[in-house]
């Protein structure tokens, strides 16, 4: 099947391609224009922008906590289903089916679920396998688990830690490793109620810093392309910028990714002790080239916070709107589901402004990633509006008219004039995520790339342009036309496959039997358990 | 071996699936009762979407009570593995199904090994609860039901007076004061919605200054597995139903399948169950489609198709109350009987205007 996307404005920063032209696709791959063959399918992209399919590096789309949120809040979906678009809750794409449809219609073709508990990997992959069209991937959570904390306490060799991380990544079919408030979930089980970077986990005497550094080293040594993905301590607390800055300093020249920095950029100035520290955080990011961050932009309206930072979620229960929540002390980690309604009041206005400040003050679009930490800051369906805010200072000014003036006075946002270009958007949502995750086959439109392509019809309304792609191709197949899914297919979960060390497997088998009274087989699963043909796609480690 | 029957006559499976599809197409209000694995549930929901059916757990009242605790209130919960390693005080709230007795006995035979190491102490709440064999537990009771005992315990721990004394309260208060992590087991089979809500209130109170959580030991492992699969597939737990346009809705009263059958709202009953003896004979005019184990026709069933048992005849994914999540189980004796999922998909393929199931 030969496809020609004709006459679009191509935006492909990786290959330095910019301007009007054709894009040719043979089956699943982008190819050079053939000399003497007519296309089987021509898509008229005149008046359109042509980009690679977008990649979301951090969006909670499946797994135990996400599903618990569905169970906790059936009324959200109930409000949505019969009248899409007509209620504030209509932006929450709840089912696996809707998640795939809504992402695809916006031109996203790969999405990473960033918080998979290894103990619930099968559940997570079953959900991801039911998300149509897009490819998925997961990050496995480590850093609150007894096996790792014990190894660190007992000064196990770096090689043993690497063997354990490799086994976890391989058995849970992950694309990388995430550490969430390192040590805090284990400490909370010992009734600790606050936990900072240099605090030690009771019983182990191991600090959060030490856990992060140990995992960072293991991830690097194993050649896992994505740097350790860190959810820092003290999320959402005024003064958290110090914690985030300490964590960045601890990177010590080696790659480290900090998630949803917006939630750590709350200063303590002003009468209410709540202000924007975004400028300071952005300056720190700009000065620390080994650091990448994603933003976790807040948008106004009802959402639900879903996090494995059980300590943070436990303390957030009092702010639950509606007033109900679930807190889980899991094996190794934990989780909390707390519904929340971001209002355009003093606090909400500042949170909204802080995220945009980070986007606009961090200079390098290759190091700041586009997320709302779905659904924590806002549902992913708010992305088109955020693109509009980044690309148009007028759009920002219009929203600011209705916000708390006192809040905005404590932020630099009103004075920021930067506007993202389409090239910046293509870097931030395509090229940079592919590079960060080690997905060499996507994120660009070069010859040989996987034909994941998004075509947007240009118009005055930037949000409308990004909400309903004119065409989307996934693996070369046309799946979206005029903003509507026209062809259903199943994507894959992208995973690494490091070879587990046999001695480590033996050790884990004995440990699991002794500590949990269960064989290791109770935790692992064959690919066939997913119930789909070829549910996984393999990504190479750097070696 | 005969594996499919139409009106009690042996037929090929394909013919039985044809007949099931025909009956489902003709039905105005089909209802499904499920007791199956995760892939069986996914296939059943896909079929329900196609034919506009409501679906529920077979004998689903207890599962619905457990679900209501999450949908209406939420709470604090702990994974079984973490309870084994950490709990030094375990409170058995109400009676537990026999399926969970091994786990309790195992907890009694082991000690917590995380945090401060020490003995594990057991208490029981409710007059009807019994400790599994070999487990020594002190009973907390006020002579009334489970709800009253939980209410009295919560009030006394908060320093309030109660109308009825709670036997052994002092012993419990002393044990709680010494405990590092208290775990309360619960099951919707013996605990009603009020008891479950009171229990979570009690746990929330304790967590103001100490740690405690609830261990969910479900009335039906399949019921909870289906609840999870239903949530990601439709956004709703069991007791959901589809409109003719394929849109799901959730209403634990309206889509209570037992109620719909008793009140004559349903006009077709499809049952997926391991044991055909659990299936009640329907009224004469009500077509019954049964997917169940066993090589005999089911009395009164318009269509019966024998299916394999998950984890026995075929590999499966099931909810494991031992790990608190979904688990892959290998077939003990791989056999020729198809899985419920395969038969349900076969029926869906035979519906008019067949299209690919959405899940």
Cβ of residue A249 closer than 8 Å to a chain B Cβ:
no
Q: Which of residues 69-98 of B touch A (CB under 8 A)?
A: 70-79, 81-82, 84-86
Tell me, yes or no, whether B55 and B39 share the same domain. yes
User: Are B82 and A123 within 8 A, CB to CB?
Assistant: no
User: Are B71 and A72 within 8 A, CB to CB?
Assistant: yes
Tell me, yes or no, whether B76 and B204 share the same domain. yes
Tell me, yes or no, whether B146 and B243 share the same domain. no
In a domain, B37, yes or no: yes
Give the best residue of B82, B203, B229, B324 to mutate against chain A (max A CB count within 10 A). Answer: B82
Tell me, yes or no, whether B161 and B73 share the same domain. yes
In a domain, B356, yes or no: no
Q: Answer with the one of B158, B186, B216 that is the final residue of a domain.
A: B216
Residue of B315, B310, B318 lying closest to B330 (CA atoms): B315
Cβ of residue A193 closer than 8 Å to a chain B Cβ:
no
The pLDDT score that the predictor gives to residue A90 is 53
Tell me, yes or no, whether B74 and B147 share the same domain. yes
Q: Answer with the one of B216, B249, B277 that is the final residue of a domain.
A: B216
In a domain, B89, yes or no: yes
For residue range B76-91, list pLDDT tens digits in order. Answer: 999 999 999 999 999 9
For residue A115, give the 3-state DSSP assignment: strand
Decide: pTM greater than 0.95: yes
For residue A504, give the 3-state DSSP assignment: helix
Tell me, yes or no, whether B40 and B112 share the same domain. no
Tell me, yes or no, whether B76 and B156 share the same domain. yes
Cβ of residue B111 closer than 8 Å to a chain A Cβ:
no
Q: Which structural domain, as residue segments, surrounds residue B46? A: 4-60+221-349
Backbone angles phi, psi at A530, to 5 degrees: -70, -30
CA–CA separation, A385 vs B293, rounded Å? 53
The complex's ipTM works out to 0.97
Identify the closest residue of chain B to A71 by CA–CA distance. B71
Strand B288-292 with B54-57, pairing: unpaired
Domain harbouring B324, CATH code: 3.40.50.740
Comparison of pLDDT for A134 and B284, the residue scoring more: A134
CA distance B2 to chain A (A): 27
In a domain, B117, yes or no: yes
Please report, in tens digits, the pLDDT of each residue of chain A (543 residues total): 999 999 999 999 999 999 999 999 999 999 999 999 999 999 999 999 999 999 999 999 999 899 999 999 988 776 666 655 555 455 555 799 999 999 999 999 999 999 999 999 999 999 999 999 999 999 999 999 999 999 999 999 999 999 999 999 999 999 999 999 999 999 999 999 999 999 999 999 999 999 999 999 999 999 999 999 999 999 999 889 999 999 999 999 999 999 999 999 999 999 999 999 999 999 999 999 999 999 999 999 989 999 999 999 999 999 999 999 999 999 988 899 999 999 999 999 999 999 999 999 999 999 999 999 999 999 999 999 999 999 999 999 999 999 999 999 999 999 999 999 999 999 999 999 999 999 999 999 999 999 999 999 999 999 999 999 999 999 999 999 999 999 999 999 999 999 989 999 999 999 999 999 999 999 999 999 999 999 999 999 997
Taking one residue from A and the other from B, the number of pairs with CB-CB distance under 8 angstroms is 160
What does the block give as tokens for B231? Answer: 């949530």
Q: Which of residues 307-326 of A touch B (CB under 8 A)?
A: 314, 324-326
Place of tokens 């020249």: A253
In a domain, B359, yes or no: no
User: Are B323 and A523 within 8 A, CB to CB?
Assistant: yes
Please report, to the nearest 10 degrees, the dihedral formed by the alpha carbons of residues B154, B158, B161, B165 taken in order: 40
Q: Answer with the one of B186, B216, B246 that is the final residue of a domain.
A: B216
In a domain, B227, yes or no: yes
Long-range Cβ contacts of B326-334 (<8 Å, 24+ apart): B326/A120, B326/A122, B326/A123, B326/A126, B326/B38, B326/B225, B326/B228, B327/A122, B327/A522, B327/A525, B328/A122, B328/A524, B328/A525, B328/A526, B328/A529
Identify the closest residue of chain A to B212 by CA–CA distance. A189
Buried b (16+ CB within 10 A) or exposed e, A13-39: bbeeeeeebebbbbebebbeeeeeeeb
Place of tokens 């002390």: A329
Q: Which of residues 55-74 of A touch B (CB under 8 A)?
A: 62, 64, 66-68, 70-74
Tell me, yes or no, whether B183 and B231 share the same domain. no
In a domain, B358, yes or no: no
Tell me, yes or no, whether B184 and B77 share the same domain. yes
Q: Name A409's Cβ contacts closer than 8 Å, sequence gap at least 6.
A: none
Tell me, yes or no, whether B255 and B322 share the same domain. yes
B-chain CB neighbours of A132 within 8 Å are 358
Tell me, yes or no, whether B185 and B77 share the same domain. yes
Tell me, yes or no, whether B26 and B79 share the same domain. no
The number of domains in chain B is: 2
Cβ of residue B311 closer than 8 Å to a chain A Cβ:
no
In a domain, B100, yes or no: yes
């Amino acid at each position: 099947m030969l496809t020609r996307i004709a006459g679009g404005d191509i935006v492909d920063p990786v290959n330095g391609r910019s301007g009007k032209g054709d894009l040719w696709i043979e089956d699943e791959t982008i190819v050079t224009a053939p000399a003497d063959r007519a296309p089987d399918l021509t898509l008229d992209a005149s008046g359109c922008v042509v980009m690679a399919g977008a990649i979301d590096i951090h969006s909670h789309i499946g797994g135990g906590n996400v599903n618990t949120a569905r169970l906790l809040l059936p009324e959200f979906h109930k409000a949505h289903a019969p009248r899409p678009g007509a209620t504030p809750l209509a932006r929450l794409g709840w089912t696996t089916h809707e998640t795939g449809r809504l992402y695809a219609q916006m031109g996203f073709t790969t999405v990473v679920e960033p918080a998979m508990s290894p103990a619930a990997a099968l559940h997570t992959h079953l959900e991801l396998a039911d998300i149509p069209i897009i490819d998925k991937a997961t990050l496995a959570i480590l850093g609150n688990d007894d096996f790792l904390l014990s190894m660190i306490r007992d000064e196990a060799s770096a090689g043993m830690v690497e063997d354990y991380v490799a086994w976890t990544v391989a058995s849970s079919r992950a694309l990388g490793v995430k550490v969430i408030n390192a040590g805090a979930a284990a400490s909370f089980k010992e009734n600790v109620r606050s936990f900072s970077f240099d605090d030690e986990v009771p019983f182990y005497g191991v600090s959060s810093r030490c856990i992060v550094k140990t995992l960072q080293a293991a991830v690097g040594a194993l050649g896992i392309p994505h740097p350790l993905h860190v959810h820092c301590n003290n999320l959402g607390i005024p003064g958290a910028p110090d914690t985030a800055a300490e964590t960045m300093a601890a990177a010590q020249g080696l790659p480290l990714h900090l998630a949803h920095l917006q939630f750590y950029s709350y200063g303590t100035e002003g009468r209410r002790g709540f202000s924007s520290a975004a400028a300071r955080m952005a300056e720190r990011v700009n000065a620390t080239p080994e650091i990448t961050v994603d933003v976790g932009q807040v948008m106004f309206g009802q959402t639900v916070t879903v996090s494995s930072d059980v300590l943070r979620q436990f303390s957030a229960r009092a702010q639950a709107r509606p007033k109900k929540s679930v807190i889980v002390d899991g094996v190794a980690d934990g989780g909390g589901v707390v519904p929340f309604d971001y209002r355009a009041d003093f606090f909400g206005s500042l949170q909204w402004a802080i995220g945009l400040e980070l986007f606009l003050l961090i200079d390098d679009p290759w190091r700041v990633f586009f997320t709302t930490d779905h659904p924590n800051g806002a549902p992913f369906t708010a992305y088109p509006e955020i693109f509009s805010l980044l690309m148009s200072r007028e759009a920002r000014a219009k929203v600011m008219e209705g916000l708390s003036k006192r809040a905005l006075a404590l932020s630099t946002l009103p004075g920021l004039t930067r506007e993202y270009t389409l090239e910046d958007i293509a870097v931030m949502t395509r090229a940079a995520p592919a590079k960060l995750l080690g997905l060499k086959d996507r994120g660009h439109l070069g010859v040989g790339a996987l034909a994941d392509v998004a075509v947007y019809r240009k118009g005055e309304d930037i949000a409308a342009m990004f909400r309903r792609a004119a065409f989307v191709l996934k693996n070369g197949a046309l799946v979206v036309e005029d903003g509507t899914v026209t062809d259903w297919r199943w994507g894959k979960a992208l995973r690494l496959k490091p070879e587990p060390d046999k001695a480590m497997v033996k050790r884990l088998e004995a440990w699991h039997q002794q500590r949990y009274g269960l064989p290791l087989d109770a935790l692992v699963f064959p690919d066939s358990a997913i119930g789909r043909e070829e549910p996984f796609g393999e990504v190479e480690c750097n070696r | 071996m005969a594996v499919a029957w139409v009106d009690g006559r042996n037929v090929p499976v394909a013919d039985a699936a044809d007949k099931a599809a025909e009956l489902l197409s003709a039905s105005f209000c089909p209802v499904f009762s499920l007791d199956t694995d995760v892939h069986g549930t996914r296939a059943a929901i896909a079929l329900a979407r196609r034919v506009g059916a409501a679906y529920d757990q077979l004998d689903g009242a207890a599962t619905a009570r457990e679900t209501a605790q999450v949908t209406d209130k939420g709470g604090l919960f702990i994974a079984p593995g973490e309870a084994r390693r950490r709990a030094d005080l375990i409170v058995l709230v109400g009676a537990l199904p026999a399926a969970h007795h091994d786990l309790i006995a195992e907890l009694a035979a082991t000690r917590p090994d995380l945090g401060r190491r020490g003995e594990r102490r057991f208490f029981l709440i409710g007059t009807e609860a019994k400790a599994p064999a070999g487990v020594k537990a002190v009973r907390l009771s006020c002579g009334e039901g489970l709800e009253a005992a939980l209410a009295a315990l919560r009030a006394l721990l908060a320093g309030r007076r109660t109308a009825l004394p709670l036997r052994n309260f002092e012993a419990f208060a002393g044990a709680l004061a010494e405990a590092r992590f208290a775990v309360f087991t619960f099951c919707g089979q013996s605990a009603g919605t009020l008891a479950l809500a009171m229990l979570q209130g009690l746990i929330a109170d304790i967590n103001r200054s100490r740690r405690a959580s609830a261990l969910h030991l479900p009335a039906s492992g399949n019921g909870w597995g289906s609840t999870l699969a239903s949530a990601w597939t439709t956004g709703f737990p069991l007791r959901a139903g589809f409109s003719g346009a394929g849109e799901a809705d959730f209403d634990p009263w309206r889509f209570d399948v037992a109620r719909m059958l008793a009140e004559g709202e349903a006009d077709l009953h499809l049952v997926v169950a391991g044991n055909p003896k659990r299936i009640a004979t329907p009224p004469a005019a009500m077509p019954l489609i049964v997917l169940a184990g066993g090589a005999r026709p089911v009395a009164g069933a318009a269509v019966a198709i024998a299916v394999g048992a998950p984890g026995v005849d075929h590999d499966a994914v099931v909810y494991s109350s031992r790990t608190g999540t979904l688990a892959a189980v290998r077939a003990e004796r791989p056999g020729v009987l198809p899985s419920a999922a395969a038969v349900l998909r076969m029926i869906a393929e035979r519906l008019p205007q067949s299209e690919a199931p959405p899940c």
